[in-house]
Chains A and B, each alone.
Chain A
Amino acid sequence: MNLTLRIWRQQGPEDKGQMVTYQVQDVSPDMSFLEMLDVLNERLILDGDEPVAFDHDCREGICGMCSLMINGEAHGPQRGTTACQLHMRQFSDGDTIDIEPWRARAFPVVKDLVVDRNAFDKIIAAGGYVTAPTGSAPEAHSTPVAKANADAAFESAACIGCGACVAACPNGSGMLFTAAKITQLSLLPQGQPERYTRVIGMVDAHDEAGFGGCTNVGECAAACPKGIPLNTIGRLNRDYLKATSKRAGTPGS
């Protein structure tokens, strides 16, 4: 199939940037979306142009590095699918496809389609862990975990940190990402001792990094390639409310 691509080109963070139109011919429906971009880039290099910079690594939907806004949708039209797993059979001959970077205040553009997502790491560093220095762990079977809780914790832990939730949110909020980690750890006995300091630390870091607030639009969950549900944000809010109420943090509460 033959396609028209309109791709965001931006030399660097200070550059204004613009959409540039390219034609690609003979695209196979078996190609992945990123392989289609590879073909374009090979041609650009040979034509003496600069190839389009985009982030990618594992190309199997788990590392979370790929980050493309495709026709205005984070990771493109297929539900539950990262851009690297999207295949060209989802498109038709003659289509025009818009490709843009994640756009959010907390994710500044580095170049073309590449953005800086370091703000996510800062949220994790502010409490998205269990303090368990190496060697200090008790025998694994000393604390059973109800299967339902373990399974639900896993559902939230499946987050790949790609940032689609932020890109899809009209407020540029990172609440789904933050809530996914909080939900995972608050469902497990190992996460209880730091439960309320964690939620305050992570939410504060979220706000400081320039993410917007959550107004329950729900675009985040719709765009999430791993199906993290919207109700994780409800869990975060409940924990946050408890944590900020007077009694939380008081010994014995």
Chain B
Amino acid sequence: MDLYTSGDPIADTRAPDGPIETRWERHRFEMKLVNPANRRKLTVIVVGTGLAGGSAAATLAEQGYRVKSYCYQDSPRRAHSIAAQGGINAAKNYRNDGDSVHRLFYDTVKGGDFRSRESNVHRLAEVSVNIIDQCVAQGVPFAREYGGLLDTRSFGGAQVQRTFYARGQTGQQLLLGAYQALERQIGLGNVEMNSRHEMLELVIVDGRARGIVVRDLVTGEISTEMADAVVLASGGYGNVFYLSTNAKGCNVTASWRAHRKGAYFANPCYTQIHPTCIPVSGDHQSKLTLMSESLRNDGRVWVPKAKGDDRSPRDIPEDERDYYLERIYPSFGNLVPRDIASRAAKNVCDEGRGVGPGGLGVYLDFADAINRLGRKAIEAKYGNLFEMYERITGEDPYQVPMRIYPAVHYTMGGLWVDYDLQSSIPGLFVIGEANFSDHGANRLGASALMQGLADGYFVLPNTIANYLASGPLEKVDASHPEAVAARTEVEDRLQRLLAVNGDRTVDSFHRELGQIMWEHCGMERSEAGLRKAIDEIRTLRDEFWQRVRVPGDGEGLNQSLEKAGRVADFFELAELMCIDALHREESCGGHFRAEHQTPDGEAQRDDDRFSYVAAWEYTGTGQPVLHKEDLTFEYVHPTQRSYK
């Protein structure tokens, strides 16, 4: 049996045409509106309270809709957007250094390796400036200059200083701004907040998304919640690798349940592997910690020239070190984009020149910067990061170089959405990292926060109104046969997980799945490896359903049961990721196929064959259907990315 079949091409029928600078504005005008008096009769469910979900829920409530919000954490303030460190891009051009909406648009399309939609990316660049205004008005304490104006820095290799930041806690501060706006609406009674609740199924009535089935994680109670539209803002799926920089609870379940009900999943193989994370220290490792990319502004990356050189780094003389990024990429040096830095680290470790436990690490050395600028200056810039490194590793990075290694950080793929952020199921909208839309095959640093807030504050509240204005929809409640069926599916599935009562823990399966994915669908993929991975995933998945042990019952707080459901969905997603990676016989952005590289080892795109979005339809037969959405480039001409 073939791994997949090919279906009809799809098109983004909501995408406007005409001059790119006016598309969003014209589209906004052409969309229908909902009368303020009618908004309070309409209910919108928002799943997830990160930057996208929190900002969307707050904004929709401000506009007068009734909002029901859900998160699995104990408070909406804890969504994983909170952990973003570096900053948020915006085309304010406060530096007068040549930035503009068009340049941010251009950089993002190019950085995405020409696998994103021009219209979407341009809109993102346009609204970026409004985001900064909005956040400042909320009291977000951005870094400022002595004159009282906002400070910006260059980030992730950008040649302009367009990144706004709040020390190394930008995500936290932006999220708290959105959370506070959300809490205000909760206090006013406009949002019903349901924390410690997990969405386990989507309810579709007459072809439209009309509700969700949720489990109260404290009482175990299953309930069905109905609405006029459903918004998923449930984040990315990096935890399919088990070890990633994601929070432990991050999962694909909300997206995957929607996918199984008909929402297409786009470009699942596009994974961002971040080059500067603290390496794995042992088998007990439960997650990986990112060290901000800003460290590469002053740190120099190197490994010993000789294989297996196990001397202490300070004993290795200068001429026996290989500053490989500076050597291979002389014009960008240590500041090459994430995908390139990560693969280069993998290559030197594969050559046997890696450092630290298992040879899976490279040095990030601040000795030169400390000599040049003094320890005080380095402390002022990176003090909190150095402390965090020391807490985790027990090593003092002022004395010995940091050890870093790439780790899974972000997923560019996600549920397919049109220009209005609506999925292939009418009434189901997907925002933030959960959708696939704006980053192509590689996301630039400081662009995730921008996209999450753009979607939630400025795009979705406009586009969802256009959908809701086409109503009113027929009134349905939880007793509708479709709603009852969805609820029964959830209950059966939980019972199945509890009934196996085998002899392996959920975590042991998750860890093994992660190893398969990291080995074969990580920084470098090959046909043979991916085929092997698909076989291994299928075997392990069968074993999971026969041997997993989930203690306790479904009647109350049961963290093992929560994990089991999530891992079961990761198994299915993992297979689709490998199929997508296998079918895309080219290298682009975060997807590097060993068979497709230039003579000097760089990613080799194949625009003639693969300039499209791969949108996968679930069939239930184990054989998904591929729908292609062609990408056209009118403004940014595809070129080979070069950072030499």
Chain A interface residues toward B at CB < 8 A: 12, 28-32, 34-36, 38-39, 42, 44-46, 48-51, 53, 55-65, 78, 80-81, 85, 87, 89, 110-111, 114, 116-118, 120-121, 124-126, 128-141, 143-147, 150-151, 153-154, 157-158, 160-161, 184-185, 188, 190-191
Contacts and interface: CB of A to CB of B under 8 A. Distances in A.
Contacts of A132: 134, 137-138, 181
B155 to A, nearest CB: 18
Contacts of A62: 82-83, 169, 172
A202 to B, nearest CB: 11
Contacts of A64: 77-78
A50 B550 CA distance: 9
B257 interface: no
Which 3 residue pairs spanning A and B have beta carbons closest together? A144-B148, A125-B187, A137-B137
B265 interface: no
B73 A57 contact: yes
B169 A121 contact: no
Contacts of B58: 134
Given A58-B82, A58-B83, A125-B183, 17 more contacts: A32-B392, A35-B284, A46-B503, A63-B73, A64-B77, A116-B74, A121-B77, A125-B187, A128-B180, A130-B138, A130-B180, A132-B137, A137-B134, A154-B173, A157-B166, A157-B173, A190-B139
A140 B150 contact: yes
27 contacts: A45-B549, A55-B74, A57-B247, A59-B289, A60-B83, A61-B388, A62-B172, A63-B78, A63-B83, A63-B247, A87-B392, A118-B195, A121-B76, A125-B183, A129-B138, A133-B62, A134-B62, A135-B130, A135-B134, A137-B136, A140-B150, A143-B136, A145-B148, A150-B143, A153-B141, A160-B172, A188-B139
A38 B75 CA distance: 23
A85 B137 contact: no
Contact of A65 (B73, B387, B559): B73
A130 to B, nearest CB: 5
Of A63, A143, A161, the most chain B CB neighbours within 10 A belong to A63
A30 B281 CA distance: 7
Interface string B168-184: 01001100100111011
Given A124-B179, A153-B141, A81 B186 contact: no
Given A137-B134, A150-B141, A28 B282 contact: yes
A14 to B, nearest CB: 11
Interface residues of B, number: 81
A87 B390 CA distance: 10
Contacts of B446: none
A59 B286 contact: yes
Given A28-B282, A111-B557, A147-B148, A57 B78 contact: yes
Nearest to A162: B78
B552 A32 contact: no
A144 B560 contact: no
A147 B75 CA distance: 31
B78 A134 contact: no
A140 B136 contact: yes
Contacts of A63: 73, 78, 80, 82-83, 247
A140 B505 contact: no
Contacts of B457: 134-135
Of A49, A114, A137, A138, the most chain B CB neighbours within 10 A belong to A137
A186 B143 CA distance: 17
B600 interface: no
Tell me what chain A mostly uses at the interface: helix, strand, loop, or mixed. loop
A150 B284 contact: no
B394 A29 contact: yes
Contact of B560 (A45, A58, A117, A184): A45
Given A45-B560, A89-B394, A51 B551 contact: yes
A201 to B, nearest CB: 9
A59 B287 contact: yes
Contact of B150 (A81, A85, A141): A141
A29 B392 CA distance: 10
B130 A137 contact: yes
B394 A145 contact: no
A82 to B, nearest CB: 10
B120 interface: no
B222 to A, nearest CB: 18
Nearest to B552: A50
A144 B147 contact: yes
A99 B366 CA distance: 38
A135 B28 CA distance: 14
A81 B391 contact: yes
B147 to A, nearest CB: 6
A114 B218 CA distance: 10
Contacts of B148: 144-147, 150
B95 interface: no
Contacts of B508: 42
A78 B560 CA distance: 29
B103 interface: no
A131 B179 CA distance: 12
B26 interface: no
Nearest to A121: B75
A45 B94 CA distance: 56
Interface in B212-251: 218, 245, 247-249
Interface string B380-422: 0000000110011110000000000000000000000000000
Of B74, B130, B556, the most chain A CB neighbours within 10 A belong to B74
B266 interface: no
B187 A188 contact: no
Interface string B486-511: 00000000000000000101011000
A51 B92 CA distance: 51
A150 B249 CA distance: 33
Contacts of A116: 74
A157 B167 CA distance: 11
A150 B144 contact: yes
Of A46, A58, A121, A150, the most chain B CB neighbours within 10 A belong to A58
Given A30-B282, A129-B184, A138-B137, A51 B80 contact: no
B146 interface: yes
B78 A35 contact: no
B133 A42 contact: no
Contact of A161 (B75, B186, B218): B75
A118 B59 CA distance: 22
